[in-house]
Structure 1
Amino acid sequence: MNAADDKTIVKDYFNSTGFDRWKRIYGQGEDVNKVQLDIRTGHQQTVDKVIGWLQADGNLSEISVCDAGCGVGSLSIPLAQEGAKIFASDISEKMVEEGKQRAASNSKSSENITFNVQDLESLSGNYHTVACLDVLIHYPQDKADQMISHLCSLAESRVILSFAPKTPALCILKKIGSFFPGPSKATRAYLHREAKIVKAFENNGFQVGRKEMTKTRFYFSRLLEATRK
């Protein structure tokens, strides 16, 4: 399977059966199983860590943020409520429409967010901060390198990125099928070595600073903040 095939599969999945599954995971309802609830908890922890970083900087109302792969707006909406100007995009039309509906419930977040259906490679413009959470898991390393390069080209100051780290323990979990269990999981899960992600940033003139790791039973995500040198 090549990168082009992965992209098509991701788009089709999140516009069909995957949308209903992940809409529930990224929501607040109780119609989730234990695995989905665990993934919800882990993903929210990653989002909260990013929000905490940006709040600590004390300039949210003064910056622009590109949320590449925004999903249903889990990161974009709270950042917009804090006053940041957000450009939120996702490859899935259904995800974007759900994000718009969730943002519409709060006038401030709705005013500060521009949503668009767009794949990562076609994004353009310049933003103070570019964020891309839990997207690289759908793509192999060569495609990830290209994506990181493009994200860096959009960022005036920094890129915040999360990925599933390639460690011996997670490789074993992946092999036995418990990394992302469930019959509705229809995309491949790619693990990435942190050293290769860091190298990709360095090749584009960025230096990794703040780091975090989120680990629950079924959710594993390494979070890096890379700033322009």
Structure 2
Amino acid sequence: MHTGTYAERRSQLTTYFDRTAVEAWARLTTDAPVSKIRATVRAGRDAMRANVFSWLPEDLTGRRILDAGCGTGALSVEAARRGAEVVAIDVSPTLVGLARERSAELLGGHHIDFRVGDMLDPWLGRFDHVVAMDSLIHYSASDIVRALAEFGLRTDGSLVFTVAPRTALLTLMHAAGRLFPRGDRAPAIVPITECGLRRRIGGEAALAGFAVGRTQRVNSGFYLSNAVELARKSPPRIAGEGGTVP
């Protein structure tokens, strides 16, 4: 699946979140004072995380969850508290280190398997649910659907992810970002349309076993994101000697 555009953007994200923005990101994901603009982003992310969790079973005991793009680990901690076996992965070693440090005080007797690397790594294994909150928003629609296809091959339940909806404001901000010197730019958020995304998902053979379920937009000042649920239509087919075929 690793297209040139996916690999290039992943490299940009690694540099940005591991070096340029790590201090700001660390403050954003705590109760520390932040600017009014970042406060709206914090509130939006909190609302989106609550929405994402409302789509997962209340009791996650025995369920294996992938937090794809775990950042500082807030979503992983909540899933582990619900009883899930959580694998949390991010491209930024610094953010993963921060997530480990923070979770140690919050988990009690629970455990999270934190890893640094590519969220699409097949060696991560199979999962009941995959959550990719705000970790696909920097990719093109085609790369998003290819990523979902990779997740789908290893997911028995649902895929829950967020995208940046194409609105006039986001399109303008995306264009304006190109005016800044390259060294000062954050990796651009790529706005996409929901109808276009649905069309691409419908045309992806590896996602034939999934159907688009609930969607929910969160708009909080400078935070604008759209959650989408892909639910498996039926359990994976059982092959011969007990193996599963997606």
TM-score range, shorter chain: 0.7 to 0.9
Residue 185 of structure 1, CA deviation: 5.3
**Alpha-carbon distance, 1:173 to partner:** 4.2
Alpha-carbon distance, 1:170 to partner:
2.8
User: Which among 204, 211, 215 is matched to residue 215 of structure 2?
Assistant: 211
Q: Secondary structure at the match of 2:32?
A: coil
For residues 5 and 153 of structure 2, what CA distance do their matches in structure 1 show? Answer: 24
Whole-Å separation in 1 of the counterparts to 2:50 and 2:192: 22
Structure ID, larger Rg: 2
Q: Structure 2 CA distance, aligned partners of 1:23 and 1:154?
A: 31
Aligned to 2:127: 127
Contact kept, 8 Å, 2:165 with 2:192, in 1: the verdict is yes
Deviation of residue 4 (structure 1)? Answer: 3.0
Structure-1 residue corresponding to 2:9: 6
Partner deviation per Cα, 1:90-132 (whole Å, 9 max, x = no partner) = 0111111111111100243x63311000112324311100000
2:53 to 51, 54, 66: 51
Aligned to 2:180: none
Q: TM-score, normalised by structure 2?
A: 0.82
Once residues 63 and 223 of structure 2 are traced to their aligned partners in structure 1, the CA distance between those partners, rounded to angstroms, is 30
Q: 1:145 to 1:107 in 2, by over 3 A?
A: closer
Structure 1 residue 188: deviation in Å?
Answer: 1.4
CA contact (8 A) 1:136 1:190 kept: no
Q: Aligned residues: percent identity?
A: 27
Show the counterpart of 1:113.
Answer: 112
Q: Which runs of 5+ in 1 are unaligned?
A: 178-182
The answer to whether 1:223 aligns with 2:222 is: no
Asked if the contact 1:17–1:184 (Cα under 8 Å) also holds between the matched residues in 2, the reply is no
1:75 Cα deviation after fit: 0.7
Q: How far does residue 176 in structure 1 lie from its aligned partner after superposition?
A: 4.6
Root-mean-square deviation (CA, aligned residues, Å) is: 2.0
Question: Per-residue CA shift, 1:135-190, capped at 9, x if unaligned?
Answer: 1221122221221111212211110011111133432343355xxxxx96521121
- Mapped contact 2:81–2:110 kept (Cα < 8 A): no
Residues 83 and 112 of structure 1 are in contact (CA less than 8 Å); yes or no, is this contact kept in structure 2? no
Q: Output the CA distance in 2 between the equivalents of 1:6 and 1:207.
A: 28
Amino acid in the other structure paired with 2:110? E
- Return 5+ residue gaps in structure 2 as ranges: 178-182, 234-246
Give the residue type in structure 1 aligned to 2:154: L
Cα distance in structure 1, aligned partners of 2:187 and 2:232? 32
Q: Give, in whole Å, the separation in 1 of the partners of 2:64 and 2:6.
A: 30
Q: Contact 1:141–1:192 (CA<8 Å) still a contact in 2? A: yes
Distance 1:150 1:227 in 2: 15
TM-score by length of 1: 0.88
Distance 1:128 1:35, change over 3 A: same
Aligned letter for 2:150? H
Contact 1:60 1:79 in 2 (8 A): yes
Residue matched to 2:240: none
What's the offset of the Cα at 1:18? 1.2
Distance 2:191 2:50 in 1: 22
Higher helix fraction (1 or 2): 1
What is the letter of the counterpart of residue 44 of structure 2?
Answer: G
Q: 2: CA distance between counterparts of 1:59 and 1:88?
A: 19
The answer to whether the 8 A contact 1:160-1:226 is kept is yes
The runs of 4+ residues in structure 1 deviating greater than 6 Å are none
